Amino acid sequence: MKLHEYQAKDILARHGVAVQRGLVAFSVEEAVEAARQIQQESGKDLFVVKAQIHAGGRGKGGGVKLARGLEAVREVAGKILGMKLKTHQTGPEGQLVRSVLITEAVDIAREYYLGVTLDRQRSMNVIMASTEGGVEIETVAAETPEKILKVWVDPLTGLSPYQARQLAFGLGFEGQAFKDATRFIAALYRAYVESDASLAEINPLALTEQGQVLALDAKITLDDNALFRHKDLAAMRDPYEEDPLELEAAEYSLNYIKLDGNVGCMVNGAGLAMATMDIIKLAGGEPANFLDVGGNASAETVEAGFRIILKDPNVRAILVNIFGGIVRCDRVARGIVEAARKVEINVPLIVRLQGTNAEEGQAILQESGLTIETAILLKEAAEKVTRALGQQATA
């Protein structure tokens, strides 16, 4: 689960990471009030108004603006709130801005990059740091990888003080800023571990003209599988930022991820779902989604699955691929027939049932009077998908 910048900064601040002072606002009035409070605490008159959406690159897209004085905050917040902000991460239609973070503006002497994530290959957390902050780290990684310092942390032993010093030294910090930077790195790592994050990223980390080490931006992605033990963090979910189909799927405990292709698929088991997506590609299609209905494919879950798949306007065929292990194929077939009667399926439907009672399942589908193409072999199913797509292309 992704978080907004203001939420990420709250978490970081709680763990002792130095972040720029700021307050979130959901209306222009709240934005002005936030700036007034910050002014009272800091005595400063320059603010940054920052669009809160789950995407990076907001600065370039016009979602991060400096404002001097409360009236300027009013004007800028008025422009940013309600705008459809387009960045390289939002997709072409952009993302509606519903809140802004008002921060005190700091004078930046240097910008750095600092991030913690999981290195699956090494089974360790990795802290990455670079003097090339403020720009997209992907570009740095692609063009000048030698400018990214990496330190791997064994989750069993945790971060050693020398590792934090190594990074701060590598970034060129000196004197008090060196001490602050090592403390910053240790606190960031603690926040990452204690909140069960899969990513905690600061870009830019700033060294201010006054010598402070501060997070100007923050991005945290939480591991969904650990959310059950962080009720306070789970409550930070912003449904407006989530795909509506994924939200609906979650209500039925379906494991659904929307993709950009044209063949919807419904499968039981994550491994089989991955294999089915490969088959769709081999057949010349592109998967429209990943959908694992789990080990217990009932009529109700199958029906919900069809409804969700069909809400995606790109879907031109549906492939159901169920392996009857614990669940019997005849039961699944009855579920499909029941669901197909309730949900209008207006694209070719190809069903492959294999495993326990596969023949009985196929017979049920064939006798149902519904236009369902059945298959037992994977190859057969793939050919039928190809044909279904081909027929539409020439129609």
Identity of the residue, 134 or 355, whose beta carbon is nearer to ligand GDP in the bound complex = 134
- Of the candidates 123, 113, 126, 205, the residue with the CA atom closest to the CA atom of residue 163: 126
Residue whose token pair is 């307050």: 23
Q: How far is CA 373 from CA 147, 253, 363, 365, in A?
A: 55, 27, 12, 9
What distance in Å separates the CA atoms of residue 58 and residue 92, rounded to the nearest whole number?
Answer: 14
Identity of the residue, 204 or 348, whose beta carbon is nearer to ligand GDP in the bound complex = 204
**Which amino acid, 236?**
M
Q: In the Cβ-directed half-sphere of 6, how many Cα atoms lie within 13 Å?
A: 21
Identity of the residue, 56 or 335, whose beta carbon is nearer to Mn ion in the bound complex = 56
115 interacts with ligand GDP by CB under 6 A: no
Among 108, 118, 299, 370, binds ligand GDP (CB under 6 A): 108
Buried b (16+ CB within 10 A) or exposed e, 162-188: ebbbbbbeebebeeebbebbbbbbbbb
| Interface of this chain with Mn ion, residues 207 to 246, rule: CB under 5 A | 217
H-helix or E-strand spanning residue 150: strand 148-153
Identity of the residue, 90 or 357, whose beta carbon is nearer to ligand GDP in the bound complex = 90
What distance in Å separates the CA atoms of residue 15 and residue 190, rounded to the nearest whole number?
Answer: 7
- Of the candidates 307, 263, 308, 310, the residue with the CA atom closest to the CA atom of residue 288: 263
- Of the candidates 138, 262, 119, 278, the residue with the CA atom closest to the CA atom of residue 199: 119
At closest approach, how far in Å is the CB of 91 from ligand GDP? 15
What distance in Å separates the CA atoms of residue 20 and residue 206, rounded to the nearest whole number?
Answer: 10
Residue 245 partner contact from ligand GDP, Mn ion, none using kind-dependent CB cut-offs of 5 to 8 Å: none
Span of 56-64, 151-159, 162-170, 309-317 interacting with ligand GDP by CB under 6 A:
56-64
Identity of the residue, 60 or 122, whose beta carbon is nearer to ligand GDP in the bound complex = 60
Residue 7 partner contact from ligand GDP, Mn ion, none using kind-dependent CB cut-offs of 5 to 8 Å: none
At closest approach, how far in Å is the CB of 344 from ligand GDP? 42
372 interacts with ligand GDP by CB under 6 A: no
Among 216, 263, 339, 375, binds ligand GDP (CB under 6 A): 216
Among 87, 103, 203, 262, binds Mn ion (CB under 5 A): 203
Q: How far is CA 230 from CA 202, 253, 259, 265, in A?
A: 22, 20, 28, 32
Span of 52-60, 113-121, 167-175, 365-373 interacting with ligand GDP by CB under 6 A:
52-60
Among 21, 27, 57, 242, binds ligand GDP (CB under 6 A): 57
Q: What residues line the site for Mn ion (CB under 5 A)?
A: 203, 217
Q: What residues line the site for ligand GDP (CB under 6 A)?
A: 20, 48, 50, 56-59, 64, 105-106, 108, 134, 203-204, 216-217
